[in-house]
Structure formats: C-alpha cells, structure tokens
Amino acid sequence: MDSSTDPAFSNSLLVRSKLREEFNISNGCIIDRNGRSWVLWSTSDLYAWWHSFEDQCQTPLGRKLMNACADQEEFLLRNDAVLPAGWFRKAARQQRCIDERWKVYGWGHFNLKNQTAQSMVYAPMLAGLALATNELLLEKRQKLEWHQISTNTVRFEIQPDATTLPHAPTPPQLPWSAELGPGFEPPAVFDDLMLGADGLLNNGESVCLFPIDAFSRLFSTCKAYSNAVSQERKSAWSTSGLNDGERSVFLMVVASMSSLVNRGERPIYIENTSSWRSLIEHYLAPFGWGKPVEIAALDSAHGVRFRLASGPTLPFLAGWLVAMWERGHGKSSKFILTPKAEEWVLEVDSRLAYN
C-alpha cells in the first residue's frame, strides 16, 4: 500500500500537524500555547523513573500520582474549555473530543462507555486522566479504582463521591518555578512521531506527551515524606536555597534519574564541554527536558559548571546532568546547586575530588 493512502500514516500526519499547532520549543523545553511545559516521555523511561522515585520516597505513591494527574488534567480541561458543555452535549461528541485529545498526546484510547483505556502509559496516570474527565462530564466528584487487565489495558470503576471540593488550583509554586518564554518553532522530534495502536511511537518506541505541572503537583505533596537517599549522597549533594522538604524532593528526583540512566543502555561518553553539548542535544533538549544556558569546565579534571534557567523541569534536568556525569565518568558525584537571580548554578565533580 502506498504510504499516502495508508490510514495509519495519514492519521500520524494529522497528529503531527496538531502538535505543531499547539507546541513550540524554547531553550530545550516543549511549551504549549499557554506557556506550560510538557515532556515527551519514553514510556519505558517513565516506568523506570517512577519505580525508582517511589523507592526513594519510601511510601506507596500510586494514588498521589493519580490525584496529581487528575488535578492537572481538570485544570487544563476547565481552563482550555476542552470538553463539550451545555444542553447540546452528546455522548458521541464527548467521545470524539476525548479520542482526539488522547490520540494527539499519545495517551492511547479511553472508552467512556466501557470505562477502559488502551494505552502504554502508566496506569495511575491514566486513572488520573480518566477521573478528571469523568468528574467534568458528570459534574460531580467521583471515587475511582483502576485495574491493570493486561500490559496495555486498564479498567476503571467509578462511584459518586459525596465530597464537595473546589476546582483544581493552579500548579504549586516551587523554588524553581518560573514562567517560560515563547518558543518560535515546533520541536523537530514531532516529525518522527507515528500513531500506533496504543499511542505515539518515536522510531518504534512508545512515547507520550505529559504536562510537567502534574509532577510539580506530585512533588509538592511529597515534601513532607522522608527519603531513602543514601547518607553519602546527602552529604555530597548540596542544595542551598531549598528548605528541608524541597531539598528532600529534589534529591529524590536526582537519585531516581541516576537510577534510570545507570540501568539504561544509553552510550554516554564525556571528554570535554563539547561532549556535553552533543549529549544534551541528543538526549534532553529534543524531548522537553531543557538545556543549560551555559556549560563551563571547572579547574578539576572532570568538574563542570552548568547555568540553568528556572523552570518546572529543573529537578529533572539537574537529575539528567548528574546521572550522565556519573555514567560518563564512572565515578560517584558531588554537586553544589546554588540559586542566582532567575537562574541556578549546578557544579558537578567527583566525590573524591579535592575542594
């Protein structure tokens, strides 16, 4: 079959077109038309990162993740007036609207009537999306349980909840939060995306777009929890400008990103600052993780200084950089993170290097 007449190919072109209309890239961040930051996650990376983050937190967090995703999706649906409203609202029209949204972002398919999702996205995140959608369409709070039926199928059970809650608030302001400037061109990675049976594919790998503010909401609720970050790392990782709760969450993100990179198969070779630039342009910037404003060598053999702009991806970006430093040099890291005006300075070096 000619690719131009292949429905899957045509649908992929349509999805790419819609993504280009909605998103631009700015300093390695994928920004929607309202200035919100999104990340193109590999779903396998998402699973690996999440399980490590949950381990670092020493607390079951599945329902916290669901609620954070539900709050963010409700916030977006309400503010962007996404779903049909009013007397003319029909089930078929609602389903078409949801199909469009889930297809474009790589979330798979959510069947309202059957309350099932076909997707490779992590089940608690799907549950949050489904909960927000159901509550808006039913115009009342709901209780939701999810059941993983197979690798790519999740079933939801909803029941009315007598709780009366206000609308989801704006995302929390964390020390690294900042408004992001507009981008001027769509992310080039969109050109590689194809629509698969259960979501988006990038060179055959399952991926999904997700708003980073969902994770900001999660991090805000995790500030009160203790963590399992080793004492060696706590002593070697300095974070001036963060209070105890903010530091705890930040270290959990960095440690979990270190686990993600060290258990993966990405080839990471670092010889000098030029090596860093090519790694960042390959692994981070195309997918919305951000990129340093400036990279400079320290006086030591392997030390490096990054200037990082404030923004909601900062903990992830710092985590990627520290993890890649450790992987590239085969050494344990120490780092100093320091706020500076609207930026942060991250200095990474060997834990055994002299001060």
CA distance 322 to 316: 10
Nearest to 127 by CA among 147, 109, 100: 147
Confidence of residue 1 (pLDDT cuts 50, 70, 90): very low
Q: In DSSP terms, which residues pair with 147 in a beta bridge?
A: 155
* Cα gap 114→156, rounded to integer Å: 9
* pLDDT tens, residue by residue, 11-51: 999 999 999 999 999 999 999 999 999 999 999 999 999 99
pLDDT at 8: 76
pLDDT at 104: 97
Distance CA 355, CA 349 (A): 10
What are the strands of the beta sheet with 23-26, ordered from one edge? 23-26, 29-32, 37-42, 205-211, 199-202, 193-196
Parallel/antiparallel/unpaired status of strands 237-239 and 333-340: parallel
Per-position DSSP letters for 6-47, written without gaps between them: -HHHHHHHHHHHHHHHHEEEETTEEEETTS-EEEEEEHHHHH
Is residue 174's pLDDT more than 70? Answer: yes
Phi, psi of 113 (to 5 degrees): -65, -45
Residue 293 CB contacts under 8 Å (≥ 6 apart), including other chains: 27, 307, 308, 309, 343
- CA gap 60, 127 in Å, rounded: 16
Mean pLDDT of the chain: 93
Selection from 312, 321, 316, 292 nearest residue 27 by Cα: 292
SS3 329: helix
pLDDT at residue 205 greater than cutoff 60: yes
- In 3D space, the residue among 28, 29, 40 whose CA is nearest the CA of residue 277 turns out to be 28
Residue pLDDT, tens place only, 42-93: 999 999 999 999 999 988 999 999 999 999 999 999 988 887 765 455 788 8
Task: Specify the DSSP class assigned to residue 185.
Answer: B
19 close to 190: Cβ distance less than 8 angstroms: yes
SS3 for 245-276 is HHHHHHHHHHHHHHHHHHHCCCCCCCCCHHHH
Encoded tokens for 22:
């909605």
Whole-number pLDDT of residue 353:
65
In the 8-state DSSP scheme, what is residue 289? Answer: S
